């Protein structure tokens, strides 16, 4: 086992020929995220998420999830992040005085690797938590942008073994990948990137973009926006709501980034030709 994959015996079929071989599959295990916070001077604990994920960078996954859900906004909000009850629970303790919207926690904290965070049905929900349109003038050259998919694929060690993991990466205006994370859930891969940026004190990441190996959904665009990243580039298609969100909040959205071709759905001014 490499940490992201494990060896298993399979029957491989080629036409009528059957062969017993060993193969690697992506590891999938549940992770519970627990939040510790103070209410009227008393410490409380809530289970805020159970997500199916690939083990590794669990602390980044937990903090990235809480950042993208606008529960925490600064490293000053967090007292400690630690595993508890084995390897499948992460506890995030907030500093005293950090306000937690209990109704918000109760409304929408059950996630899976397939559907991501549910309950975000409108653009107004983002405005309600103080998210504003981005105003930066970050640019990336076209030639730098089209190099991203190959770089991302070369960095996906576990994908080469299993073919079953998504990847996300933060990249700079020169088209260099700074942080790469893999996970069986594409939302988890993005949260791990955001969590790593959060731990490094690099949020809001106004000079960085996000690259994802699959499609660009509303949830992924939301996470990009909350992290302050002005660009989301995807190898596959965007959804209609992702396009609407990008245009509403001035995020550059690139889809079908393959070879030397891509589509720009919003924020074309950030792509320098």
* 84 part of the active site: no
Pairing mode of beta strands 177-183, 209-212: unpaired
Place of tokens 């992702």: 242
CA distances from 16 to 72, 99, 201 (A): 56, 63, 56
List helix spans (H) across 36-111: 58-68, 102-108
How many CB atoms neighbour CB 2 within 10 A? 12
Rounded-to-integer distance, Cα 137 and Cα 115, Å: 33
84, 96, 115, 121: which one is catalytic? 115
- Tokens encoding 217: 């959904």
Pairing mode of beta strands 29-39, 231-234: unpaired
For residue 70, the surrounding DSSP H or E stretch is none
The full length of the chain comes to 273
149 SS3 class: helix
DSSP E strands in 84-176: the ranges are 89-94, 140-141, 166-171
Active site residues: 115
């Amino acid at each position: 086992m490499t940490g992201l994959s494990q060896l298993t015996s399979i029957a491989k079929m080629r036409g009528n020929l059957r062969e017993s071989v060993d193969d690697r599959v992506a590891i999938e295990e549940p992770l519970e995220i627990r939040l510790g916070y103070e209410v009227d001077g008393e410490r409380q604990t809530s289970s805020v998420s159970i997500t199916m994920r690939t083990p590794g960078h669990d602390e980044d996954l937990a903090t990235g999830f809480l950042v993208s859900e606008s529960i925490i906004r600064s490293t000053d909000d967090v007292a400690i992040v630690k595993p508890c009850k084995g390897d499948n629970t992460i506890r995030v303790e907030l500093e005293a005085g950090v306000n937690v919207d209990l109704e918000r926690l109760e409304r929408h904290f059950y996630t899976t690797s397939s559907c991501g965070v549910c309950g975000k049905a409108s653009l107004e929900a983002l405005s309600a938590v103080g998210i504003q349109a981005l105003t930066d003038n970050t640019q990336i050259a076209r030639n730098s942008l089209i190099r991203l998919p190959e770089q991302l694929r070369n960095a996906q060690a576990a994908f080469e073994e299993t073919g079953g993991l998504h990847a996300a990466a933060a990249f700079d205006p020169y088209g260099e990948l700074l942080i790469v994370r893999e996970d069986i859930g594409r939302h988890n891969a993005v949260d791990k990137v955001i969590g790593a940026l959060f731990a490094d004190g690099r949020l809001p990441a106004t000079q960085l973009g996000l690259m994802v190996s699959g499609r660009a959904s509303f949830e992924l665009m939301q996470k990009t926006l909350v992290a302050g990243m002005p660009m989301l580039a995807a190898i596959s298609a965007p959804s209609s709501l992702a396009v609407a969100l990008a245009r509403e909040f001035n995020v550059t959205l690139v889809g079908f980034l393959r070879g030397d071709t891509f589509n720009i759905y919003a924020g074309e001014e950030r792509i320098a030709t």
